[in-house]
Structure 1
């Protein structure tokens, strides 16, 4: 496939701004999804990582592609590769979000890069999000999105990855279809790999529903918060391999300089996402 990188790079510098009131109902649903509790009154601090549910793109159903994502183009460059995944990112928390405040997210395309992977082309799009409320800077986030070729029967089978290491702190999560569906609803994410099992198996070639990258990041950040007793001021992560609803999901953590090194993995499986939490 020919990819016009110069055309895609013309999106660098493009901006988008969206605003949304952080309502108590969203906080209530967020907490219920993760079996957590917290205040719901106006002015109270909102739970960490709820910003991933705010100011999300909204497209009519007629404007969605076959995978459930909005059709290519618009704010994000029209990368012609069919598979899109959240590859990783870095978040810096400057001040807490407060329930009832109007949140504004200003997003900027920072870079578009093309690489050749084992299974074909990889196109990386880097987006910088700036969250604020009034004159308060709240969160600065770098988001790394990767687009990939479709799976083919001609690709060489991947080498088996080593099992994730043991950890001094671990917790199990039931990554059920209900949990995945609820998180898709919270983030208004129509990507079918998270809730449409026939599509996953027949069109994408996955063995089950794919556990969201943002949800894994949220679970790890919550795990770090519980271990330390305070939300991190910086959280970075990178997706290494997919994990599916048929496998179960483990959260793992070990003390590291200024914080925790964290990772997710299915039982007996390789590291799915690795992360760093710092205070």
Structure 2
């Protein structure tokens, strides 16, 4: 892997715009069980996504590599984590602009082999100005079976916990909302036969969205900052459990399957 060439993508930027319509908010609310009276947290992830023609998709359903994101020559790409700073709600009916810049490209060695991390900064604004600052961490890794795997320890339940059915309709509808063609979320034969997973994978952005809404519901107010990191995958073979506990700094949150390890770890502050 020519890391110097890949690091040549650092500093690249792109800008996209899209209107935040009441219809999108209604579909978002119907999918996630949220009220549709205002712009909900993280609905911007459903906006300004690349509309790539089918002929330009890779075999995994993602856009073919080498456009805005660097052409990392590793087959698996996932959202590894990130951070959101919420400055104010987006305006319903407003034109939303996302300005994206590649901040860093780093090659690391993990237990299962090479890992390439790409960090992207997003500035989300509308006619009223900057609304959200986002850092997105993307990880590229080898194919299934590359290197040893270890079984993480089961997670403890939180002081607050809530089960959600991670079923195919939820995963399919969220893929549609975010115009996400990644086949591991809706194509079971691809997920199991090609990538070797035991079932459909629950989106990282979906887990982050459910956790940030859970934090807001528990505290009675949306957080000012939300950080998260993906540690292990969740599948549609079991319910997804949202967990939370209060801390001196705000709230710690995590997802898991019943009896399973932490899948996504997060923190919220107000």
Cα deviations across residues 20-54 of structure 1 (Å, max 9, x unaligned)?
00011100000000122231xxxxx3011101111
Q: Which residue is 1:155 aligned to?
A: 147
Q: Which residue is 1:230 aligned to?
A: 221
Q: Which residue is 1:31 aligned to?
A: 29
Distance in 2 (CA, whole Å) between partners of 1:204 and 1:160 is: 19
Cα deviations across residues 113-160 of structure 1 (Å, max 9, x unaligned)?
0011122110000000000113511000000000001113x632x222
Equivalent position SS for 1:92: strand
1:13 to partner: Cα distance? 0.2
1:275 aligns with 2:266: yes
**Partners of 1:16 and 1:75 within 8 A in 2:** yes
**Partners of 1:225 and 1:232 within 8 A in 2:** yes
Among residues 141, 164, 182, which one is paired with 2:134 in the alignment?
A: 141
Distance in 2 (CA, whole Å) between partners of 1:105 and 1:257 is: 33
Q: Which residue is 2:166 aligned to?
A: 175
1:247 to partner: Cα distance? 1.6
1:266 aligns with 2:257: yes
Distance in 2 (CA, whole Å) between partners of 1:168 and 1:113 is: 37
Among residues 49, 58, 63, which one is paired with 1:65 in the alignment?
A: 58
Bigger mean CA offset, 113-122 vs 6-15: 113-122
Unpaired runs of 5+ residues, structure 2, are: none
RMSD in angstroms over aligned alpha carbons? 0.9
Unpaired runs of 5+ residues, structure 1, are: 40-44
- Poorly superposed stretches of 4+, deviation over 3 Å: none
Distance in 2 (CA, whole Å) between partners of 1:135 and 1:75 is: 27
Q: Which residue is 1:85 aligned to?
A: 78
1:167 to partner: Cα distance? 1.2
Matched positions, count: 270
Distance in 2 (CA, whole Å) between partners of 1:99 and 1:177 is: 29
Among residues 189, 197, 202, which one is paired with 1:198 in the alignment?
A: 189
Equivalent position SS for 2:263: strand
TM-score, normalising length: structure 2: 0.98
1:257 to partner: Cα distance? 2.2
**Partners of 1:194 and 1:209 within 8 A in 2:** yes
1:248 to partner: Cα distance? 1.2
Among residues 225, 236, 239, which one is paired with 1:248 in the alignment?
A: 239
Equivalent position SS for 1:55: coil
TM-score, normalising length: structure 1: 0.95
**Partners of 2:91 and 2:126 within 8 A in 1:** no
Distance in 1 (CA, whole Å) between partners of 2:154 and 2:128 is: 46
Equivalent position SS for 2:208: helix
**Partners of 1:119 and 1:151 within 8 A in 2:** no
1:262 to partner: Cα distance? 0.1
